[in-house]
């Protein structure tokens, strides 16, 4: 965990859960595993507040607790998960994906689950149905069944999964009684959701009927509250089964989309459709960490291609050969049986895409000639300065300048190989080289810092025009209440004119700035995603 990560996590926590949670979270991230007492002492908050903050963090999976790490009877310790906090940055993308795949209903389900950490299915369905009904025209309402169907579909495609059953006290307690010697290691490994066989099983939920429209008026509120109280004791048959968003599955989806669009850029639309078909066929059969998909025969691919593409068999074979021949190595050939067995090299594709990202970053930041040197070094591994000049066809003076700049930014490394043990400069080879993985790590940290910078700037912009924002909010509220009470149009314009023209202009530009910063955050997150997946795919032992 780096300082940049902690800074970004702090900002994210502050934005989503407020300052108290941020203080607790930041403290946990900074000092690692801690017990309640230590957290209270270090943050200087009241015990009650700290407990509540920890609850929030645990609810969202950003924090876990272990009991008795230092022997039986020792206090429960809390540990924050940096990577989980960083997921908050990607929330907009998850929600957007759900919207494109499953429409508004899917969008709202994911949104609710992300906002609340984890929920039961019946609860989610009810909330989503209510929200949909709110936005619909007067007189129509959303059927629970429809929402449940979307929910089941999300579970079927593994976008949602069950939360592991309460990992804390229950499991560790039982393991301790069963085998006291192995208790410590057993409890220290957090149970993964995938390890439960029921992970993706949808429980029988008895939820029939339509959601009721809640009325805006005072008595409607009362009525709903009363109804809620009446409904609460109802059981839907899924108590205790909580659901959460399966981030891994979303990431798998993002990765597949990135690969598909890369193929479309590099080759053409048809090739990308073939790769899309291959990835869809192996979506559920391949685990998210596998280095490549299961082999698919050309016949299978042919049968699964959507009929609308109208690709004859021999053309498909040609496309597959082209994909295999392509130097980016997105698709590989695994065998000859069944008309040729093909795989998608997921890890290789990620590595190549990460390399392209690094190259593009160097190109944009240092110019295309520096990028030429950078690519040259990536290709040829180790080169002396003279060789770099010759291969890249760049005058010695400029090449030297660029190389040293890249070296000082740590994008290029220097390897000394002395001919004699005294490291005398005249008898030493100086070889320049690029190490892709450390460079990717470096740029990932830069990305974190950039996002944090953008967020701080956004907060700063908002703070600068705080007064103006408050004023405009107040006026909007007045306008709304006037409209509701059926005021005269002259009255409305009068209120509207309370915001002067320059103020209006300022508000508009502020909105523009905030939108720009927001979209920039999301764009940087795409880079973060690519680099993160590359790093995790190349460091994980491929089994």
Partner 1 sequence: MAEVRVKKETNLAEPAEVETRIRELCQQFPQGITDQVIQNDMPHLEPQQRALAINKLLSLGQLDLLRNSSGLLYRLKDSQTASKMKGSDNQEKLVYQIIEDAGNKGIWSRDIRFKSNLPLTEINKILKNLESKKLIKAVKSVAASKKKVYMLYNVQPDRSVTGGAWYSDQDFESEFVEVLNQQCFKFLQSKAEAARGGQQSPMVQRNSSFATSHEVWKYISELGISKVDLSMDDIETILNTLIYDGKVEMTVIAAKEGTVGSVDGQMKLYRGVNAVLPPAGLVKTPCGLCPVFDDCHEGGEISPSTCIYMTEWLEF
Residues in contact with partner 1 by CB under 8 A are: 262, 265-266, 268, 270-271, 315, 318-319, 321-322, 327-328, 352-353, 356-357, 359-361, 363-365, 368, 371-373, 375-376, 379, 391-396, 398, 443, 446-447, 449-450, 452-454, 456-457, 460, 512-513, 516-517, 520, 522-527, 530
- Opening angle at CA 507, ends 506 and 509, nearest 5: 65
Shortest distance in whole angstroms from residue 128 CB to partner 1: 31
- Closest approach of partner 1 to the CB of residue 298, in Å: 15
Q: Which is nearer to partner 1, 296 or 399 (CB)?
A: 399
Residue among 116 and 513 whose Cβ is closer to partner 1: 513
Tokens of residue 114, six digits:
């992300």
Given the complex with partner 1, which of 44 and 327 has the nearer CB atom? Answer: 327
- Tell me whether residue 368 or residue 485 sits nearer to partner 1 (CB atom): 368
Cβ proximity to partner 1, 213 vs 369, nearer residue:
369
* Stretch (H or E) spanning 463: helix 436-464
63 has which bridge partners? 80
* Residue 372: CB minimum distance to partner 1, A: 5
Closest distance to partner 1 from the beta carbon of 360 (Å)? 5
Close Cβ partners of 7 (under 8 Å, ≥ 6 residues apart): 448, 449, 452
> Nearest approach, Cβ of 527 to partner 1 (angstroms)?
4
Cβ atoms of 262 and 328 within 8 Å: the answer is yes
Q: Is the Cβ of residue 435 or residue 445 nearer to partner 1 in the bound state?
A: 445
Q: For residues 393 and 501, which CB has a smaller minimum distance to partner 1 in the complex?
A: 393
Q: Considering the complex, what minimum distance in angstroms separates the CB of residue 437 from partner 1? A: 17
CB of 374 to partner 1, least distance (A): 9
User: Least distance from C-beta 216 to partner 1, angstroms?
Assistant: 38
Half-sphere exposure of 249 (CA within 13 A, CB side): 22
CA distance 525 to 340: 38
Minimum separation from the CB atom of position 341 to partner 1 (A): 20
Task: Give least dist CB 32 to partner 1, A.
Answer: 24
Helix axes of 385-392 and 396-408: crossing angle, nearest 10 degrees: 120
Residue 300 or 526: the one with the smaller Cβ distance to partner 1 is 526
Q: Which is nearer to partner 1, 109 or 279 (CB)?
A: 279
Q: Which residues contact 437 (CB under 8 A, 6 or more apart)?
A: 535, 538, 539
Question: What is the layout of strands, in order, in the sheet containing 331-335?
Answer: 296-297, 341-344, 331-335
* 196 versus 366: smaller Cβ distance to partner 1: 366
Residues in the chain: 543
Q: What is the CA radius of gyration of the chain?
A: 28
Nearest to 239 by CA among 121, 386, 331: 121
Q: How far apart are CA 238 and CA 242, in angstroms?
A: 8
Residues 6+ apart with CB under 8 A from 32: 79
CB 277 within 8 A of CB 344: no
Least distance between partner 1 and beta carbon 317 (Å): 9
Q: CB of 279 within 8 A of CB of 147? A: no
d(CA 316, CA 323): 10
Q: What is the rounded (10 degree) CA torsion for 295, 301, 303, 304? A: 100
Q: How far is CA 352 from the centre of its chain?
A: 21
User: Do residues 211 and 133 make contact, with C-beta atoms less than 8 angstroms apart?
Assistant: yes
The three-state secondary structure class of 331 is: strand
The smaller minimum CB distance to partner 1, of residues 143 and 461, is found at 461
Is residue 279 within 8 Å of 262, Cβ to Cβ?
A: no
- Cross-strand bridge partners of residue 145: none
d(CA 21, CA 23) in angstroms, rounded, equals 5
Q: To the nearest whole angstrom, how small is the minimum distance from the Cβ of residue 361 to partner 1?
A: 5
Considering beta carbons, is residue 79 or 504 the nearer one to partner 1? 504
């Amino acid at each position: 965990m780096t300082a940049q990560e902690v800074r970004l996590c702090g900002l994210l926590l502050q934005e989503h859960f407020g300052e108290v949670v941020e203080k607790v979270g930041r403290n946990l991230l900074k000092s690692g595993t801690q017990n309640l007492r230590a957290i209270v002492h270090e943050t200087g908050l009241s015990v009650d507040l700290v407990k509540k903050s920890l609850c929030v963090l645990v609810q969202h999976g950003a924090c876990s607790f272990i009991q008795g790490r230092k022997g039986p009877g020792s206090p429960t310790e809390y540990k924050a998960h940096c990577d989980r906090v960083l997921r908050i940055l990607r929330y907009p993308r998850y929600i957007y994906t759900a919207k494109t795949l499953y429409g508004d209903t899917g969008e709202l389900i994911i949104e609710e689950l992300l906002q609340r950490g984890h929920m039961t299915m019946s609860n989610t369905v009810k909330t989503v149905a209510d929200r949909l009904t709110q936005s619909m025209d007067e007189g129509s309402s959303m059927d629970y069944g429809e929402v449940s169907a979307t929910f089941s579909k999300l579970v079927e495609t593994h976008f949602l999964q069950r939360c592991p059953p309460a990992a804390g006290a229950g499991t560790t307690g039982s393991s301790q009684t069963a085998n006291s010697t192995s208790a410590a290691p057993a409890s220290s490994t957090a149970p993964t959701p995938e390890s439960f066989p029921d992970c993706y099983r949808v429980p029988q939920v008895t939820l029939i009927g339509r959601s009721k429209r809640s009325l805006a008026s005072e008595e409607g509120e009362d009525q709903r509250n009363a109804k809620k109280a009446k409904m609460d004791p109802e059981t839907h048959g899924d108590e205790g089964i909580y659901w959460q968003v399966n981030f891994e599955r979303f990431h798998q989806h993002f990765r597949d989309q990135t690969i598909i669009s890369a193929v479309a850029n590099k080759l053409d639309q048809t090739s990308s459709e073939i790769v899309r078909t291959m990835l869809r066929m192996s979506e559920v059969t391949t685990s998210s960490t596998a280095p490549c998909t299961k082999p698919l025969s050309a016949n299978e691919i042919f049968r699964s291609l959507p009929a609308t593409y109208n690709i004859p068999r021999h053309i498909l074979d040609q496309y597959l050969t082209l994909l295999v021949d392509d130097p980016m190595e997105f698709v590989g050939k695994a065998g000859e049986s069944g008309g040729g067995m093909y795989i998608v090299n997921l890890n290789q594709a990620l590595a190549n895409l990460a390399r392209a990202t690094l190259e593009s970053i160097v190109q944009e930041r240092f110019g295309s000639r520096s990028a030429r040197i950078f690519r040259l070094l990536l290709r040829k591994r180790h080169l002396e300065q003279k060789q770099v000049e010759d291969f890249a066809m760049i005058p010695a003076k400029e090449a030297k300048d660029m190389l040293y700049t890249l070296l000082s930014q740590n994008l290029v490394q220097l390897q000394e190989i002395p001919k004699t043990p005294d490291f005398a400069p005249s008898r030493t080879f100086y070889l320049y080289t690029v190490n892709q993985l450390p460079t990717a790590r470096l740029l990932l940290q830069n990305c974190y810092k950039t996002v944090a910078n953008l967020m701080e700037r956004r907060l700063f912009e908002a703070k600068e025009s705080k007064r103006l924002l408050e004023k405009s909010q107040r006026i909007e509220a007045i306008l709304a209440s006037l409209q509701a009470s059926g005021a005269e149009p002259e009255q409305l314009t009068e209120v509207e004119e309370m915001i002067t023209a320059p103020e209006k202009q300022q508000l508009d530009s502020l909105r523009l700035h905030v939108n720009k910063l927001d979209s920039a955050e999301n764009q940087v997150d795409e880079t973060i995603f690519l680099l993160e997946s590359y790093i995790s795919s190349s460091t994980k032992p491929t089994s």
